[in-house]
Chain A
Amino acid sequence: MTLMAQGGDTVRELTVEELRNKLGTGMEISNEENMLLSMGPQHPSTHGVLRLLVELEGEKIINLAPDIGFLHTGIEKNMEAKTFTKALVMTDRMDYLSPMSNNLGYVLAVEKLLGIEAPPRAQAIRMILAEMARIGSHLVWLGTSALDMAAMSVFLYCFREREYILDVFEMCAGQRMMVSYFRPGGLWRDVPEEFIPAVEEFLRFMPAKIADYEGLLKNNPLWLARTKDVGVISKEDAISWGLTGASLRGSGSDWDLRKATPYIGYENVEFDVPVRTEGDVYARYACRMDEMKESLRIIRQALDKLPDGPVNSADRKVVPPPRSELGTSMEAVIHHFKIWTEGFKAPKGFVKQSIESPRGEFMCYLRGDGGSKPARVHFRTPSFVNLASIPVMSKNLYVADLVAIIGSVDIVLGEIDR
């Protein structure tokens, strides 16, 4: 077979071999007779613009390779041209389902590089909002993965509750999704006084709602048939393939960065890490459902112990002075001017900060060169790494199972491509 293709200014013939290479995944095809199916990037069950090249024998998946990059926006490169504070807004746009977690990972890395720490009240508010973001993100995962398996009503319920979480975010940050609320050294500003009653209300109604979702799915025979013993990955494979988050804990490892290397005060709250040993789609589902309940426990404790005090570090070289000081203090004017025109300077060196985002381990590598812009920012995003194990999970299964597996790994394409 030869195909004519226009490449630059030359017309050339493509052999089958070259065509396969051009398919863009480098996948080896085991049998020439097999069918090659391109699933996505507009396929609704791929949760975004993910393209999967699937080799099928009948309806059985022999091999599969992900093709990504449709949403690449060069965030890492763009951040190098912005000051540390301005670069923060780009992190919202990576994992658009849990921008609070992305903010947190980046902000903690900047604080680590600078050697400062946010005050206790800021840390507690960060914890509450990060856990609410986790619940909100899990709600989208639950709704969409159930929708993929034709359980439509779950989707509608999940988005109803997520709306409440987004309202709370809007109350704090003025934005529903692209929040940029956590800033190096603390928060953009303190939470409004309606915040605590709103979170109390959330804690009051949410357990019953989670029970509702479980009532719809947990013992539903259709759900069990689609998820039990599907997409099994062993603990050893999961670790070697770099799986993190609930996808790893569904395979029997109890690794959770909130326990292993606590940050923003997770060592002071009590919570359990849900672990399942089956390693199938149902185990990952069950882990995430239990995680939502644990998140509620964390929010409850953090809210009860919410300390008073400032929400920003007193380090005026990093955090701009309050507006009220500008009229009376010359120093405050200078700091204000310096921070908003050229930004704060970070020392030479490189750090990394890992946090447990809803999808797994989110790591930010940050190198400062003494200037006010990061010399290099790199994100190890959980979706990107978790994607690599989908081919392992879906070997010798059917296309319908692949849909369940993609849903259960919980990928966000904005975060994969960044």
Chain B
Amino acid sequence: MTDFHQLVVKKIQKAFPDAVEEVQEFRGECTIVVDMESVHAICKMVCEDEELDCNFIVDICADDMLPDYPRFAVNYQIRSMDNNGEFRLRTFVDDPDEGPQTVGDIWNVGGWLEVEVYDLMGITFQGNTGLRRLFLPEDWVGHPLRKDYPLGYEEVQFSFNWEAIQEKKPYAGRKRLADNN
């Protein structure tokens, strides 16, 4: 771990002793797993802290961990340009309809990055009013980057057999999944 990583971990652990669940290091990258409720507060702290000065958010990216639960992981890649260091905040989201709070008020581009996550992975961000279909048409059903979203090889549905095929599809959204568990 670099000095910057140690400083970040120390500061976050001090300010939010209950929020940090795990600190991982893999291939020289520092990942801090935190609980979902405190993501916004931690982001605000690292951004406003004069020593850390994390003024740049590189990316927000969601990951579907199926078959593991909690299912969704959201990664915030955060950078301090002056310290030339970066780290990853990782949080797990159980219910995609109640995702973490938006970070659009901390970094302007945050809201824009969240729209992409919403469109393709279906995680909503509390307080982000601009969530919409970005890449896909407005009437698209489903979120393609989820693991239970099929990648082709589906039976073609016609009006006479729509219901029958719909019944045996390998996925049927969250309800079917919940039944299986």
Contact = CB atoms under 8 A, between A and B. Distances in A.
Interface stretch (A35-43, A239-247, A275-283, A290-298): A239-247
B27 A115 contact: yes
Contacts of B109: 240-242, 385, 388-389
A271 interface: no
Contacts of A112: 27
A387 B35 CA distance: 31
Interface string B128-152: 0110111111110000110001010
A24 B138 contact: yes
Q: Could you tell me the dominant secondary structure of chain A's interface residues? A: mixed
A352 B29 contact: yes
Say whether chain B's binding surface is mostly helix, strand, loop, or mixed.
loop
A417 B144 CA distance: 14
B139 A240 contact: no
Contacts of A367: 63
Interface of B: 26-27, 29, 31, 55-59, 61, 63-64, 75, 77, 81, 84, 88, 107-109, 112-113, 116, 120, 129-130, 132-139, 144-145, 149, 151
B27 A365 contact: no
18 contacts: A24-B132, A25-B132, A69-B137, A76-B120, A77-B144, A240-B55, A240-B109, A241-B108, A242-B108, A242-B109, A261-B84, A352-B77, A380-B58, A384-B116, A385-B109, A388-B108, A388-B112, A417-B135
Nearest to A115: B27
A356 B46 CA distance: 25
A58 interface: no
Interface of A: 7-8, 22, 24-26, 68-69, 72, 74, 76-78, 80-81, 112-113, 115, 237, 239-242, 253, 255, 260-261, 349-352, 354, 361, 363, 365, 367, 376, 378, 380, 384-385, 388-389, 392, 417
A380 B61 contact: yes
Given A77-B151, A367-B63, A380-B58, A72 B135 contact: yes
Given A77-B151, A253-B81, A242 B107 contact: yes
A72 B108 contact: no
A69 B134 contact: yes
Residue of A113, A237, A385 contacting most chain B CB atoms (<10 Å): A385
B144 A74 contact: yes
Given A76-B145, A350-B63, A351-B26, A7 B139 contact: yes
A22 B132 CA distance: 11
Contacts of B31: 350
A78 B58 contact: no
Given A24-B132, A240-B107, A352-B88, A365 B75 contact: yes
Contacts of B144: 74, 77
A365 B113 CA distance: 14
A72 B84 CA distance: 33
B56 A80 contact: no
B108 A365 contact: no
B167 to A, nearest CB: 20
A365 B86 CA distance: 14
Contacts of B137: 69
Interface centre among B55, B63, B136 (most CB of A within 10 A): B63
Nearest to A416: B135
A376 B132 CA distance: 23
Nearest to A25: B132
A78 B144 CA distance: 10
A7 B177 CA distance: 29
B27 A351 contact: yes
Given A26-B130, A388-B108, 10 more contacts: A237-B108, A239-B55, A239-B56, A253-B81, A261-B84, A351-B27, A351-B29, A363-B59, A365-B61, A367-B63
B70 to A, nearest CB: 16
Nearest to B115: A26
A353 to B, nearest CB: 9
B168 to A, nearest CB: 21
Nearest to B59: A380
Nearest to A71: B135
A8 B135 CA distance: 21
Q: Which 10 A-B pairs have the closest CB atoms?
A: A242-B109, A69-B135, A380-B59, A72-B135, A388-B112, A378-B61, A240-B108, A349-B26, A241-B108, A26-B132
A81 B144 CA distance: 13
Nearest to A67: B134
A373 to B, nearest CB: 11
A389 B55 CA distance: 16
